[in-house]
Amino acid sequence: MTINCKGTLIDLTAPKVMGILNITPDSFFDGGKYRDEAEIIDQVEKMLVDGATFIDVGAYSSRPGAKHISEEEELQRILPVINLLLKKNPEILLSVDTFRSKVAQEAIDAGAAIVNDISGGKMDDQMFSTIAKLQVPYILMHMLGTPQTMQKNPTYKDVTNEIISFFAAQIDQLHQLKLNDIIIDVGFGFGKTNTHNFEILKNLALFKSLEAPILAGISRKSMLYKTLDISAQEALNATTSANTIALLNGASILRVHDVKEAVEAVKIVGQLSL
């Protein structure tokens, strides 16, 4: 199982780790933490040294109830960071976390390698055609509603089957547009209750029927810290536990704030298949 990132084939048979770089002032865990060039470069270099294969750069906070920003503001935040990181390390594989096709287009033109769309193509009707034209790996995430509305009483009859059906329909559209490198993200916390989140985690292996690599983005999320009655800052151990479950259930990419610990989880679980 491979994806083509700027001409480099990345083998996902052995799971990989994607480090999170939030350049937003209001992200739930590290909002406002990485805002000047030195802090950004230091954090990304640390994640790469710790074993990250990809760095996911986000300029639009998607936490529940987050403030909506314009396309122009998102571009003004993200493009200088992409340019900065690629100038420092031209080989870096950057993922751009956006639901807007124009931001995706300009980020890929600037040298990013992957598009990570929290809306799964539902918030911009030009996204699928743009990705098909760009022919870059696309992370297709499930979200109920928008970041502003997603946690207002999310309801499903059968959460696992409904999300699988969503992915099947979206993947079919993308295949018709001749896009092959599709990664699915079940969207923990995006329009799901805690009960939904843990049911999806328990059933994650069922998503392998879609024959697409699975990305798990559980890092320090409220499904963990609220369950334990702790803060996001205290949820590293819980994150590692959840990531381990995700790996055992077939995750190919872990999207995390703490790369070193995620890489260690990948190595430990990998020993089971030797």
| Residues with catalytic function | 221, 255
Q: Are strands 16-22 and 54-58 parallel, antiparallel or unpaired?
A: parallel
Q: What is the DSSP letter of 242?
A: H
Residue labelled with tokens 């751009």? 96
Spatial contact of 89 and 49, defined as CB atoms under 8 Å apart? no
| Gap between the Cα atoms of 98 and 92, Å rounded | 18
Q: Residue 23 and residue 32: Cα distance in Å, rounded?
A: 7
- Please report, for residues 7, 74, 97, the alpha-carbon distance to residue 268 in angstroms, rounded to integers and kept in the order given: 30, 38, 29
Q: What is the 3-state secondary structure (H, E, C) of 139-151?
A: EEECCCCCCCCCC
Burial of 223 by CB count in 10 Å (0-12 exposed, 13-18 middle, 19+ buried)?
Answer: buried
